[in-house]
Structure 1
Amino acid sequence: MTAQDRSSRLSPECDGHDALLRSARWLEVGDDDPRVPPAFVIEFSSAAFALPAFEQHGVPLPAALQRAVPKRQAEFLAGRIAARHAIERLGVVASIPGIGSSREPRWQPGVTGSITHTRDLAGAIAVEASAVRGIGIDFEEVIEAAARDAVRELAFTPGELALLEKQHGHLSDDMLLTIAFSAKESLFKGAHAAAGRYFDFSAARVSALDADAGRLTLTLAETLCPDLPEGSCHPVSFRMLRPDTVATSFVW
Protein backbone atom coordinates (compact mmCIF):
# COMPACT_ATOMS: atom_id res chain seq x y z
CA MET A 1 0.00 0.00 0.00
CA THR A 2 1.48 3.37 -1.01
CA ALA A 3 1.50 6.51 1.11
CA GLN A 4 -1.12 8.00 -1.21
CA ASP A 5 -3.34 4.95 -0.67
CA ARG A 6 -3.12 5.46 3.08
CA SER A 7 -4.33 9.06 2.92
CA SER A 8 -8.06 8.30 3.09
CA ARG A 9 -7.60 5.95 6.02
CA LEU A 10 -5.48 8.45 7.91
CA SER A 11 -7.66 11.49 7.26
CA PRO A 12 -11.35 10.83 7.90
CA GLU A 13 -11.93 14.58 8.26
CA CYS A 14 -10.85 14.97 4.61
CA ASP A 15 -13.30 12.44 3.19
CA GLY A 16 -15.35 14.89 1.15
CA HIS A 17 -17.96 15.56 3.84
CA ASP A 18 -16.14 18.61 5.24
CA ALA A 19 -16.59 21.84 3.27
CA LEU A 20 -13.38 23.30 4.69
CA LEU A 21 -11.09 20.32 4.01
CA ARG A 22 -11.69 19.18 0.45
CA SER A 23 -9.11 16.43 0.09
CA ALA A 24 -5.85 15.07 1.48
CA ARG A 25 -2.96 12.94 0.29
CA TRP A 26 0.61 11.96 1.07
CA LEU A 27 3.11 13.47 -1.35
CA GLU A 28 6.83 12.86 -1.84
CA VAL A 29 8.61 16.23 -1.78
CA GLY A 30 12.24 15.30 -1.12
CA ASP A 31 13.44 13.77 -4.39
CA ASP A 32 15.20 10.52 -3.39
CA ASP A 33 16.56 11.77 -0.06
CA PRO A 34 15.54 9.18 2.56
CA ARG A 35 15.70 11.84 5.28
CA VAL A 36 12.71 13.68 3.81
CA PRO A 37 9.43 11.89 4.55
CA PRO A 38 6.25 12.30 2.53
CA ALA A 39 4.33 15.49 3.23
CA PHE A 40 0.71 15.35 4.29
CA VAL A 41 -1.04 17.76 1.92
CA ILE A 42 -4.55 19.13 2.43
CA GLU A 43 -6.63 21.06 -0.08
CA PHE A 44 -8.87 23.45 1.82
CA SER A 45 -11.38 26.24 1.21
CA SER A 46 -10.99 29.44 3.22
CA ALA A 47 -14.45 30.50 2.07
CA ALA A 48 -15.95 27.55 3.96
CA PHE A 49 -14.10 28.32 7.21
CA ALA A 50 -15.86 29.23 10.46
CA LEU A 51 -14.39 29.47 13.96
CA PRO A 52 -16.14 26.34 15.28
CA ALA A 53 -13.91 24.35 12.90
CA PHE A 54 -11.07 24.63 15.43
CA GLU A 55 -13.06 22.77 18.07
CA GLN A 56 -14.46 20.35 15.47
CA HIS A 57 -10.95 19.29 14.46
CA GLY A 58 -9.44 19.36 17.94
CA VAL A 59 -7.00 22.19 17.25
CA PRO A 60 -6.59 24.99 19.84
CA LEU A 61 -6.93 28.53 18.49
CA PRO A 62 -3.82 30.44 19.65
CA ALA A 63 -4.38 33.77 21.38
CA ALA A 64 -2.19 35.43 18.74
CA LEU A 65 -4.69 34.44 16.03
CA GLN A 66 -7.96 35.20 17.79
CA ARG A 67 -8.25 38.54 15.97
CA ALA A 68 -6.70 37.37 12.71
CA VAL A 69 -8.72 37.47 9.51
CA PRO A 70 -10.62 34.25 8.72
CA LYS A 71 -8.29 33.44 5.81
CA ARG A 72 -5.27 33.37 8.14
CA GLN A 73 -7.17 31.30 10.70
CA ALA A 74 -8.17 28.79 8.01
CA GLU A 75 -4.56 28.49 6.80
CA PHE A 76 -3.34 27.90 10.34
CA LEU A 77 -5.99 25.27 11.03
CA ALA A 78 -5.32 23.34 7.81
CA GLY A 79 -1.57 23.44 8.44
CA ARG A 80 -1.90 22.14 11.99
CA ILE A 81 -4.22 19.33 10.91
CA ALA A 82 -1.61 18.35 8.33
CA ALA A 83 1.09 18.51 11.01
CA ARG A 84 -0.89 16.20 13.28
CA HIS A 85 -1.06 13.54 10.55
CA ALA A 86 2.65 13.99 9.80
CA ILE A 87 3.52 13.45 13.47
CA GLU A 88 1.21 10.44 13.82
CA ARG A 89 3.04 8.85 10.89
CA LEU A 90 6.02 8.53 13.28
CA GLY A 91 3.98 6.27 15.54
CA VAL A 92 3.69 8.74 18.41
CA VAL A 93 0.79 10.59 20.00
CA ALA A 94 0.66 13.97 18.27
CA SER A 95 0.55 17.32 20.03
CA ILE A 96 -0.51 20.26 17.88
CA PRO A 97 2.58 22.45 17.27
CA GLY A 98 2.41 25.85 18.93
CA ILE A 99 3.76 29.15 17.62
CA GLY A 100 7.25 30.47 18.41
CA SER A 101 8.45 34.05 18.72
CA SER A 102 9.26 34.18 14.99
CA ARG A 103 5.96 32.48 14.09
CA GLU A 104 7.78 29.17 13.61
CA PRO A 105 6.06 25.93 14.67
CA ARG A 106 6.97 24.71 18.16
CA TRP A 107 7.24 20.94 17.90
CA GLN A 108 6.79 18.44 20.70
CA PRO A 109 9.90 16.85 22.27
CA GLY A 110 11.60 14.35 20.00
CA VAL A 111 9.99 15.69 16.82
CA THR A 112 10.86 18.36 14.30
CA GLY A 113 9.29 19.27 10.98
CA SER A 114 7.92 22.00 8.78
CA ILE A 115 4.53 23.44 7.84
CA THR A 116 3.57 25.43 4.76
CA HIS A 117 0.48 26.71 2.98
CA THR A 118 -0.78 28.60 -0.05
CA ARG A 119 -4.25 30.08 -0.49
CA ASP A 120 -5.81 26.59 -0.73
CA LEU A 121 -3.09 24.02 0.04
CA ALA A 122 -1.48 23.19 3.38
CA GLY A 123 1.32 20.71 3.89
CA ALA A 124 3.46 19.37 6.72
CA ILE A 125 6.30 16.94 7.31
CA ALA A 126 7.61 15.57 10.59
CA VAL A 127 10.68 13.53 11.48
CA GLU A 128 12.39 12.30 14.62
CA ALA A 129 14.50 15.18 15.87
CA SER A 130 17.54 12.91 16.16
CA ALA A 131 17.42 12.06 12.44
CA VAL A 132 18.21 15.53 11.05
CA ARG A 133 19.66 18.87 12.10
CA GLY A 134 16.87 20.73 10.37
CA ILE A 135 14.22 20.33 7.69
CA GLY A 136 12.01 22.74 5.79
CA ILE A 137 9.36 22.64 3.09
CA ASP A 138 7.59 25.41 1.25
CA PHE A 139 4.72 25.60 -1.24
CA GLU A 140 4.48 28.67 -3.48
CA GLU A 141 2.11 29.72 -6.23
CA VAL A 142 3.79 31.36 -9.20
CA ILE A 143 4.70 34.96 -8.47
CA GLU A 144 2.23 37.36 -10.03
CA ALA A 145 3.44 39.95 -12.51
CA ALA A 146 2.47 42.79 -10.15
CA ALA A 147 4.84 41.43 -7.47
CA ARG A 148 7.68 40.37 -9.76
CA ASP A 149 9.87 43.47 -9.45
CA ALA A 150 9.48 43.65 -5.68
CA VAL A 151 10.46 39.99 -5.26
CA ARG A 152 13.45 40.37 -7.54
CA GLU A 153 14.71 43.34 -5.52
CA LEU A 154 13.92 41.85 -2.10
CA ALA A 155 15.24 38.32 -2.51
CA PHE A 156 17.94 38.22 -5.19
CA THR A 157 21.22 39.76 -6.29
CA PRO A 158 21.87 40.76 -9.91
CA GLY A 159 24.11 37.70 -10.22
CA GLU A 160 21.34 35.36 -9.09
CA LEU A 161 18.88 36.92 -11.50
CA ALA A 162 21.38 36.54 -14.35
CA LEU A 163 21.77 32.84 -13.51
CA LEU A 164 18.01 32.32 -13.53
CA GLU A 165 17.62 34.18 -16.80
CA LYS A 166 20.09 31.80 -18.47
CA GLN A 167 17.87 28.81 -17.75
CA HIS A 168 16.11 27.27 -20.70
CA GLY A 169 13.40 24.65 -20.69
CA HIS A 170 9.75 24.09 -19.88
CA LEU A 171 9.59 26.46 -16.89
CA SER A 172 8.66 30.11 -17.33
CA ASP A 173 10.84 32.93 -16.02
CA ASP A 174 8.26 33.68 -13.34
CA MET A 175 8.17 30.05 -12.23
CA LEU A 176 11.98 29.90 -12.04
CA LEU A 177 11.87 33.02 -9.87
CA THR A 178 9.19 31.38 -7.72
CA ILE A 179 11.24 28.19 -7.32
CA ALA A 180 14.30 30.16 -6.22
CA PHE A 181 12.21 32.22 -3.78
CA SER A 182 10.62 29.08 -2.36
CA ALA A 183 14.02 27.40 -1.98
CA LYS A 184 15.19 30.26 0.23
CA GLU A 185 12.01 29.94 2.30
CA SER A 186 12.70 26.22 2.81
CA LEU A 187 16.27 26.98 3.83
CA PHE A 188 15.06 29.52 6.38
CA LYS A 189 12.61 27.05 7.89
CA GLY A 190 15.20 24.29 8.08
CA ALA A 191 18.06 26.41 9.44
CA HIS A 192 16.28 28.93 11.67
CA ALA A 193 16.45 26.86 14.86
CA ALA A 194 20.18 26.16 14.47
CA ALA A 195 20.93 29.78 13.58
CA GLY A 196 19.03 31.01 16.62
CA ARG A 197 18.25 34.28 14.90
CA TYR A 198 16.39 35.82 12.02
CA PHE A 199 18.18 35.98 8.68
CA ASP A 200 16.89 37.30 5.38
CA PHE A 201 17.08 36.32 1.73
CA SER A 202 20.59 37.74 1.34
CA ALA A 203 21.98 34.99 3.59
CA ALA A 204 21.92 32.49 0.71
CA ARG A 205 22.43 32.85 -3.01
CA VAL A 206 21.29 30.67 -5.88
CA SER A 207 24.46 29.18 -7.35
CA ALA A 208 23.02 26.42 -9.59
CA LEU A 209 19.67 25.20 -10.87
CA ASP A 210 18.86 22.03 -12.78
CA ALA A 211 15.22 22.19 -13.85
CA ASP A 212 15.22 18.68 -15.31
CA ALA A 213 16.59 17.14 -12.10
CA GLY A 214 14.38 19.26 -9.86
CA ARG A 215 17.32 20.53 -7.86
CA LEU A 216 18.66 23.95 -6.94
CA THR A 217 21.84 24.80 -5.01
CA LEU A 218 22.05 27.59 -2.45
CA THR A 219 25.43 28.90 -1.32
CA LEU A 220 25.51 30.64 2.05
CA ALA A 221 26.67 34.26 1.92
CA GLU A 222 27.06 34.40 5.71
CA THR A 223 27.62 31.95 8.55
CA LEU A 224 24.35 30.86 10.14
CA CYS A 225 25.93 28.53 12.72
CA PRO A 226 29.19 26.54 12.96
CA ASP A 227 27.75 23.72 10.85
CA LEU A 228 26.29 26.13 8.26
CA PRO A 229 29.30 28.29 7.44
CA GLU A 230 29.64 31.00 4.83
CA GLY A 231 30.49 29.48 1.47
CA SER A 232 28.88 26.10 2.12
CA CYS A 233 26.58 24.76 -0.60
CA HIS A 234 23.21 23.16 0.08
CA PRO A 235 20.86 21.37 -2.35
CA VAL A 236 17.15 22.13 -2.36
CA SER A 237 14.75 19.78 -4.16
CA PHE A 238 11.69 21.00 -6.00
CA ARG A 239 8.71 19.53 -7.79
CA MET A 240 5.54 20.92 -9.31
CA LEU A 241 2.34 20.36 -7.33
CA ARG A 242 0.28 22.01 -10.06
CA PRO A 243 1.21 23.90 -13.21
CA ASP A 244 1.22 27.09 -11.10
CA THR A 245 2.45 25.75 -7.74
CA VAL A 246 5.86 24.44 -6.64
CA ALA A 247 7.01 22.51 -3.56
CA THR A 248 10.59 22.83 -2.31
CA SER A 249 12.38 20.95 0.47
CA PHE A 250 15.66 21.41 2.34
CA VAL A 251 17.25 19.03 4.84
CA TRP A 252 20.60 18.86 6.57
Structure 2
Amino acid sequence: MTSNHPACCSAIEPAWPFNDALPGIVMRSCQFDPSRLTPNDFALTAIAAPSSIQRSVAKRQTEFLAGRLCAREALQTLTGIPNVPGLHEDRAPIWPEGICGSISHSHGLASALVASHTHWRGLGLDLETLLPASRAQRLAKEILTPAELNRLGSLDPSQYAERITLTFSIKESLFKALYPLVGQRFYFQDAELLNVDSNGRARLRLLLDLSREWHAGRELGGNFCYFQERLLSLVAIPA
Protein backbone atom coordinates (compact mmCIF):
# COMPACT_ATOMS: atom_id res chain seq x y z
CA MET A 1 0.00 0.00 0.00
CA THR A 2 1.45 3.35 -1.02
CA SER A 3 1.90 6.27 1.36
CA ASN A 4 -0.98 8.18 -0.27
CA HIS A 5 -3.42 5.31 0.21
CA PRO A 6 -5.90 5.98 3.04
CA ALA A 7 -6.08 3.70 6.06
CA CYS A 8 -9.86 3.47 5.64
CA CYS A 9 -9.45 1.46 2.41
CA SER A 10 -7.59 -1.76 1.72
CA ALA A 11 -5.26 -2.13 -1.25
CA ILE A 12 -7.03 -2.09 -4.62
CA GLU A 13 -7.17 -5.63 -6.04
CA PRO A 14 -7.97 -7.07 -9.48
CA ALA A 15 -11.18 -9.09 -9.46
CA TRP A 16 -13.29 -11.12 -11.85
CA PRO A 17 -15.51 -13.54 -9.93
CA PHE A 18 -18.03 -14.25 -12.71
CA ASN A 19 -17.99 -17.61 -14.50
CA ASP A 20 -18.20 -16.01 -17.97
CA ALA A 21 -15.18 -14.15 -19.31
CA LEU A 22 -16.23 -10.79 -20.79
CA PRO A 23 -13.24 -9.50 -22.76
CA GLY A 24 -12.31 -5.85 -22.46
CA ILE A 25 -13.80 -5.24 -19.01
CA VAL A 26 -11.45 -4.26 -16.17
CA MET A 27 -12.67 -4.70 -12.59
CA ARG A 28 -11.09 -3.57 -9.33
CA SER A 29 -12.22 -3.99 -5.73
CA CYS A 30 -11.31 -3.00 -2.17
CA GLN A 31 -12.64 -3.16 1.37
CA PHE A 32 -13.36 -0.02 3.39
CA ASP A 33 -13.96 0.94 7.01
CA PRO A 34 -15.76 4.24 7.76
CA SER A 35 -14.43 4.28 11.32
CA ARG A 36 -10.91 4.84 9.93
CA LEU A 37 -11.80 7.75 7.63
CA THR A 38 -9.90 10.95 8.39
CA PRO A 39 -10.69 14.52 7.27
CA ASN A 40 -7.55 14.48 5.10
CA ASP A 41 -8.26 11.31 3.13
CA PHE A 42 -9.75 12.98 0.05
CA ALA A 43 -6.80 15.37 -0.20
CA LEU A 44 -4.38 12.52 0.45
CA THR A 45 -5.75 10.55 -2.49
CA ALA A 46 -6.26 13.60 -4.76
CA ILE A 47 -9.94 12.70 -5.14
CA ALA A 48 -12.32 15.66 -5.04
CA ALA A 49 -15.39 15.25 -2.87
CA PRO A 50 -18.49 16.92 -4.32
CA SER A 51 -20.35 19.17 -1.90
CA SER A 52 -23.10 16.59 -1.43
CA ILE A 53 -20.46 14.06 -0.32
CA GLN A 54 -18.74 16.58 1.95
CA ARG A 55 -22.04 17.10 3.76
CA SER A 56 -22.73 13.39 4.14
CA VAL A 57 -21.96 10.99 7.00
CA ALA A 58 -18.67 9.07 7.26
CA LYS A 59 -20.18 5.91 5.77
CA ARG A 60 -21.26 7.68 2.58
CA GLN A 61 -17.96 9.54 2.31
CA THR A 62 -15.93 6.35 2.71
CA GLU A 63 -17.94 4.31 0.23
CA PHE A 64 -17.67 7.15 -2.29
CA LEU A 65 -13.91 7.36 -1.75
CA ALA A 66 -13.46 3.58 -2.00
CA GLY A 67 -15.54 3.38 -5.17
CA ARG A 68 -13.58 6.20 -6.83
CA LEU A 69 -10.26 4.61 -5.85
CA CYS A 70 -11.38 1.37 -7.51
CA ALA A 71 -12.62 3.24 -10.59
CA ARG A 72 -9.39 5.23 -10.90
CA GLU A 73 -7.29 2.07 -10.72
CA ALA A 74 -9.51 0.34 -13.29
CA LEU A 75 -9.32 3.33 -15.64
CA GLN A 76 -5.55 3.53 -15.33
CA THR A 77 -5.29 -0.17 -16.22
CA LEU A 78 -7.65 0.25 -19.19
CA THR A 79 -6.44 3.57 -20.60
CA GLY A 80 -3.14 4.38 -18.90
CA ILE A 81 -4.70 7.55 -17.43
CA PRO A 82 -5.75 7.61 -13.75
CA ASN A 83 -8.98 9.52 -14.25
CA VAL A 84 -11.52 9.83 -11.45
CA PRO A 85 -15.14 9.79 -12.62
CA GLY A 86 -17.09 12.86 -11.58
CA LEU A 87 -20.56 12.89 -10.06
CA HIS A 88 -23.53 14.00 -12.16
CA GLU A 89 -26.47 15.88 -10.65
CA ASP A 90 -28.47 12.64 -10.83
CA ARG A 91 -25.66 10.96 -8.80
CA ALA A 92 -24.50 8.82 -11.75
CA PRO A 93 -20.74 8.65 -12.38
CA ILE A 94 -19.37 10.76 -15.23
CA TRP A 95 -16.98 8.57 -17.23
CA PRO A 96 -14.28 9.75 -19.65
CA GLU A 97 -15.25 10.06 -23.31
CA GLY A 98 -15.45 6.66 -25.00
CA ILE A 99 -15.62 4.75 -21.70
CA CYS A 100 -18.49 3.13 -19.84
CA GLY A 101 -18.34 1.87 -16.30
CA SER A 102 -20.15 1.18 -13.07
CA ILE A 103 -19.44 1.42 -9.33
CA SER A 104 -21.09 -0.39 -6.44
CA HIS A 105 -20.53 -0.84 -2.72
CA SER A 106 -22.11 -2.84 0.06
CA HIS A 107 -21.25 -3.12 3.76
CA GLY A 108 -17.53 -2.45 3.55
CA LEU A 109 -16.84 -3.73 0.03
CA ALA A 110 -16.50 -1.52 -3.08
CA SER A 111 -16.06 -2.54 -6.71
CA ALA A 112 -15.82 -0.75 -10.03
CA LEU A 113 -15.50 -1.89 -13.62
CA VAL A 114 -14.81 -0.08 -16.86
CA ALA A 115 -14.59 -0.83 -20.57
CA SER A 116 -14.13 0.95 -23.87
CA HIS A 117 -17.15 1.68 -26.05
CA THR A 118 -15.29 -0.26 -28.71
CA HIS A 119 -16.38 -3.42 -26.87
CA TRP A 120 -19.25 -2.45 -24.55
CA ARG A 121 -21.96 0.22 -24.73
CA GLY A 122 -23.15 0.01 -21.16
CA LEU A 123 -22.18 -1.64 -17.86
CA GLY A 124 -24.18 -2.04 -14.67
CA LEU A 125 -22.69 -3.55 -11.50
CA ASP A 126 -24.45 -4.11 -8.18
CA LEU A 127 -23.31 -5.57 -4.84
CA GLU A 128 -25.84 -6.68 -2.24
CA THR A 129 -25.86 -8.55 1.06
CA LEU A 130 -28.52 -11.25 1.15
CA LEU A 131 -31.87 -10.05 2.45
CA PRO A 132 -33.13 -11.78 5.61
CA ALA A 133 -36.12 -13.98 4.84
CA SER A 134 -38.56 -11.75 6.75
CA ARG A 135 -37.46 -8.58 4.92
CA ALA A 136 -37.49 -10.38 1.58
CA GLN A 137 -41.13 -11.31 2.21
CA ARG A 138 -42.01 -7.68 2.96
CA LEU A 139 -40.24 -6.34 -0.15
CA ALA A 140 -41.28 -9.04 -2.61
CA LYS A 141 -44.27 -7.23 -4.12
CA GLU A 142 -42.25 -4.01 -4.58
CA ILE A 143 -39.36 -5.73 -6.38
CA LEU A 144 -41.04 -8.57 -8.29
CA THR A 145 -43.68 -8.51 -10.99
CA PRO A 146 -46.71 -10.82 -10.59
CA ALA A 147 -45.14 -13.25 -13.06
CA GLU A 148 -41.89 -13.32 -11.05
CA LEU A 149 -43.83 -13.89 -7.84
CA ASN A 150 -45.67 -16.82 -9.40
CA ARG A 151 -42.38 -18.52 -10.19
CA LEU A 152 -41.32 -18.49 -6.53
CA GLY A 153 -43.99 -20.87 -5.29
CA SER A 154 -41.77 -23.93 -4.85
CA LEU A 155 -38.81 -22.22 -3.16
CA ASP A 156 -38.03 -22.65 0.54
CA PRO A 157 -37.57 -19.47 2.67
CA SER A 158 -33.79 -19.21 2.13
CA GLN A 159 -34.10 -19.78 -1.63
CA TYR A 160 -36.96 -17.28 -1.70
CA ALA A 161 -34.83 -14.61 0.00
CA GLU A 162 -31.90 -15.34 -2.29
CA ARG A 163 -34.04 -15.00 -5.43
CA ILE A 164 -35.57 -11.72 -4.26
CA THR A 165 -32.10 -10.36 -3.47
CA LEU A 166 -30.88 -11.45 -6.91
CA THR A 167 -33.91 -9.92 -8.63
CA PHE A 168 -33.37 -6.63 -6.78
CA SER A 169 -29.65 -6.63 -7.61
CA ILE A 170 -29.83 -7.51 -11.26
CA LYS A 171 -32.59 -4.96 -11.88
CA GLU A 172 -30.32 -2.36 -10.26
CA SER A 173 -27.55 -3.48 -12.64
CA LEU A 174 -29.95 -3.26 -15.58
CA PHE A 175 -30.84 0.32 -14.65
CA LYS A 176 -27.18 1.33 -14.31
CA ALA A 177 -26.35 -0.17 -17.72
CA LEU A 178 -29.31 1.29 -19.61
CA TYR A 179 -29.89 4.68 -17.99
CA PRO A 180 -26.87 6.37 -19.66
CA LEU A 181 -28.14 5.10 -23.04
CA VAL A 182 -31.80 6.09 -22.72
CA GLY A 183 -31.71 9.00 -20.24
CA GLN A 184 -34.97 7.81 -18.72
CA ARG A 185 -35.60 6.42 -15.26
CA PHE A 186 -37.43 3.13 -14.83
CA TYR A 187 -38.32 0.98 -11.87
CA PHE A 188 -38.50 -2.58 -10.55
CA GLN A 189 -41.88 -3.31 -12.12
CA ASP A 190 -40.61 -2.19 -15.54
CA ALA A 191 -38.40 -5.24 -16.11
CA GLU A 192 -38.74 -8.96 -15.49
CA LEU A 193 -36.17 -11.58 -14.55
CA LEU A 194 -37.08 -14.46 -16.84
CA ASN A 195 -34.68 -17.14 -15.70
CA VAL A 196 -31.34 -17.90 -14.07
CA ASP A 197 -29.03 -20.89 -14.41
CA SER A 198 -26.41 -22.68 -12.32
CA ASN A 199 -23.57 -21.03 -14.28
CA GLY A 200 -24.50 -17.58 -13.01
CA ARG A 201 -26.34 -16.39 -16.09
CA ALA A 202 -29.63 -14.52 -16.08
CA ARG A 203 -32.13 -13.35 -18.68
CA LEU A 204 -34.18 -10.15 -18.34
CA ARG A 205 -36.97 -8.58 -20.36
CA LEU A 206 -38.06 -4.95 -20.52
CA LEU A 207 -41.75 -4.33 -19.86
CA LEU A 208 -41.92 -0.73 -21.10
CA ASP A 209 -40.64 1.37 -23.99
CA LEU A 210 -37.53 3.37 -23.10
CA SER A 211 -36.56 4.19 -26.69
CA ARG A 212 -37.05 2.79 -30.17
CA GLU A 213 -34.17 0.40 -29.57
CA TRP A 214 -34.90 -0.42 -25.93
CA HIS A 215 -38.57 -1.28 -26.15
CA ALA A 216 -40.98 -3.50 -24.26
CA GLY A 217 -40.16 -7.14 -24.97
CA ARG A 218 -36.45 -6.52 -25.56
CA GLU A 219 -34.37 -9.14 -23.74
CA LEU A 220 -30.91 -8.77 -22.21
CA GLY A 221 -28.46 -11.11 -20.54
CA GLY A 222 -26.87 -10.72 -17.14
CA ASN A 223 -24.39 -12.45 -14.84
CA PHE A 224 -24.30 -13.04 -11.11
CA CYS A 225 -22.11 -14.73 -8.51
CA TYR A 226 -21.10 -14.61 -4.87
CA PHE A 227 -18.14 -12.34 -4.16
CA GLN A 228 -16.70 -11.96 -0.68
CA GLU A 229 -19.97 -13.19 0.87
CA ARG A 230 -22.09 -10.76 -1.12
CA LEU A 231 -24.26 -11.20 -4.17
CA LEU A 232 -22.74 -9.47 -7.21
CA SER A 233 -24.65 -8.90 -10.43
CA LEU A 234 -23.66 -7.48 -13.81
CA VAL A 235 -25.48 -6.39 -16.94
CA ALA A 236 -23.08 -5.73 -19.84
CA ILE A 237 -24.42 -4.40 -23.15
CA PRO A 238 -22.15 -5.27 -26.09
CA ALA A 239 -21.10 -2.69 -28.64
TM-score normalised by structure 2 residue count? 0.90
Contact 2:6 2:41 in 1 (8 A): no
Aligned mate of 2:144, from 156, 173, 189: 156
Deviations 1:89-115 (A, max 9, x none): 113312211111221100111221000
Matched, 1:53 2:41: yes
Partner of 1:175: 162
Shift of 1:36: 5.9
Of 144-153 and 57-66, deviating more is: 144-153
Q: What SS does structure 2 have at the residue aligned with 1:134? A: strand
* Of 159-168 and 99-108, the range deviating more from structure 2: 159-168
Q: State the 1:26 CA deviation.
A: 1.4
Contact 2:100 2:121 in 1 (8 A): no
Q: What is the Cα deviation at residue 32 of structure 1?
A: 2.2
- Is this contact kept in 2: 1:192–1:198, CA < 8 A? yes
Q: What's the % identity of the aligned pairs? A: 28
Contact 1:29–1:237, Cα closer than 8 Å, also in 2: no
CA pair 38-127 structure 1, distance change in 2 beyond 3 A? closer
Superposition deviation, residue 216 in structure 1 = 1.5
CA RMSD of aligned residues (A): 2.2
> 1: CA distance between counterparts of 2:175 and 2:166?
14
1:52-85 C-alpha deviation (Å, 9 max, x unpaired): 1111111101112111011000000000000001
**2:199 matched residue in structure 1:** 213
| Pair 1:100 & 2:88 matched | yes
Counterparts of 2:23 and 2:152 in 1: how far apart (Å)?
28
Structure 1 window deviating more from structure 2 (143-152 vs 89-98): it is 143-152
User: SS at 1:112's partner residue?
Assistant: strand
Measured at CA, do residues 30 and 148 of structure 1 come closer, stay the same or move farther in structure 2, by a change above 3 Å?
same
Which of 59, 63, 70 does residue 75 from structure 1 map onto?
63
TM-score (norm. length: structure 1): 0.86
Give the alignment partner of residue 201 of structure 1, picking from 188, 194, 215. Answer: 188
CA distance in 2, matches of 1:90, 1:32: 19
Aligned pair partner of 2:113 in 114, 125, 128:
125
Partner of 1:7: none
Match of 1:4 in 2: none
The size of the alignment, in residue pairs, is 236
Displacement of 1:162 in angstroms is 2.5
Contact in 1 for aligned 2:9/2:30 (Cα 8 Å): yes
Question: What residue ranges of structure 1 are gaps of 5+ in the alignment?
Answer: 1-11
Pairing partner for 1:116 from 97, 104, 110? 104
Q: Secondary structure at the match of 2:185?
A: coil
1:236 aligns with 222
